[in-house]
Structure 1
Amino acid sequence: MAQGVCKLLWLRRLLGDLGFEPHKPMDLYCDNNVAIAIAHNFVQHDRTKHVEVDRYFIKEKLDAEIISFPFISFEYQLADVLTKAISTNVFLNSLDKLGMRDIFTPT
């Protein structure tokens, strides 16, 4: 999540340099409710000690309203088609959304 926030900050700065300054928080879609809850909750947890520095960085950007973490169901995560074993329906829907077509279809 911290790497995604870094990339969003870079993209935000690039857009600002090009004259397209974003006026609302940039969305980083996440399909993990626990990760979203940890990012929003500043209370220390025993299970999150190894990610403490990243949590402070993410929380700082959340408080400044630079980023937001809307929840998205795993069925709509387009990156999952490249990284996980998913069902046939989700696979085909993801391919359609990515603009990939059947290479075996005659043209």
Structure 2
Amino acid sequence: MVKGICELLWLKKLLAEISVAPNSEMNLFCDNKAAITISHNTVQYDRTKHVEMNRNFIKQNLKEKIIQLPFVKSEDQLADILTKAVSARNYYNSLDKLGIRVIYAPT
């Protein structure tokens, strides 16, 4: 999540340089309800100590309304086809949603 936020912040600065800066919160879609809950929770538990610095960075950006973390179901997560093995159905559904055509498919 932190790397995604860093990329969003970089893109926001890049867009600001060319005078196209977004004036609303940026969405970082997440398919992990536990991570979203921990990010929004004001209480820090012992089991989250190992991610304290990352959690604080995320909370700071949430509080400043730079980002928001909407939940997306795993089967609707388009980035999954680029990062892990998915079923053939999810793979082809994601390709359709991204507008990518398989050039080797029979016509």
Structure 1 length as normaliser, TM-score? 0.91
Q: What SS is found at the alignment partner of 1:30?
A: coil
- In the alignment, does 2:95 pair up with 1:57? no
- In the alignment, does 2:21 pair up with 1:17? no
Distance 1:105 1:85, change over 3 A: closer
- In the alignment, does 2:36 pair up with 1:36? yes
**Cα root mean square deviation, aligned:** 1.4
| 82-91 vs 69-78, which moves further | 82-91
* Counterpart-to-counterpart distance in 1, 2:106 and 2:52: 54
* Counterpart-to-counterpart distance in 2, 1:10 and 1:23: 15
Runs (4+) off by over 3 Å = none
Aligned match of 2:48: 48
Q: Output aligned runs, 1:68-107, within 5 Å.
A: 68-105=68-105
Number of equivalenced pairs: 107
Structure 2 length as normaliser, TM-score? 0.91
Q: What SS is found at the alignment partner of 1:21?
A: coil
Per the TM alignment, residue 44 of structure 1 is displaced from its structure 2 partner at its CA by 0.9
Q: Which amino acid aligns with 1:98?
A: L
* Counterpart-to-counterpart distance in 2, 1:48 and 1:58: 13
Can you give the 5+ residue segments of structure 1 that lack an aligned partner in the other structure? none
Q: Which amino acid aligns with 1:34?
A: A
Can you give the 5+ residue segments of structure 2 that lack an aligned partner in the other structure? none
